[in-house]
């Protein structure tokens, strides 16, 4: 696992049925582009988060492909309509094969 990786998510705890809610996500990650060289002139290998997926009760809300030009600590803010109570699952896929997952519940009343 790359150093200092920590997923963070902000989802409202409650909403009304059919509400549009705002979701914020951020994962701390150095997002090494693969374009830089170290002091000896060797290329520093690429190490980025290459995919981000958000699901609600198993249904895909957003599926993002990330490219090396995206800066450190990638942040996503998006909206979703919640029809019922359930769980959001957020998944980040790292170049080194690691997968980071966070789950947040929301109750719809």
Instruction: Give the binding site for other proteins (CB under 8 A).
Output: 4, 6, 8, 10, 24, 26, 28, 73
Q: Are 43 and 32 in contact (CB under 8 A)?
A: no
Nearer to other proteins, 26 or 80 (CB): 26
Q: Name the minimum Å distance from CB 58 to other proteins.
A: 26
User: 99 pairs with which residues across the strands?
Assistant: 93
Q: Which is nearer to other proteins, 28 or 89 (CB)?
A: 28
Backbone torsions φ then ψ of 45, nearest 5 degrees? -60, 150
CB of residue 109 to other proteins, shortest distance in Å = 20
Identify the bridge partners of residue 90 per DSSP, sorted by sequence position: 54, 102
Q: How far is the CB of 37 from other proteins (least distance, A)?
A: 21
CB 77 within 8 A of CB 24: yes
Tally of CB atoms within 10 A around 68? 14
Which of 12, 83 has the CB closer to other proteins?
12
């Amino acid at each position: 696992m790359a150093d200092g990786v920590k997923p963070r998510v902000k989802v409202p705890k409650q909403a009304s049925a059919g509400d549009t809610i705002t979701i914020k996500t951020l994962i701390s990650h150095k997002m090494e582009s693969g374009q830089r060289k170290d002091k000896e002139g060797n290329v520093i290998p690429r190490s980025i988060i290459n995919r981000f997926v958000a699901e609600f009760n198993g249904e895909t809300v957003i599926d993002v492909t990330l490219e090396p030009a995206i800066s450190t600590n990638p942040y996503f803010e998006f909206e979703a309509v919640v029809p019922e109570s359930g769980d959001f699952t957020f998944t980040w896929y790292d170049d080194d094969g690691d997968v980071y997952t966070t789950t947040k519940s929301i109750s719809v009343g």
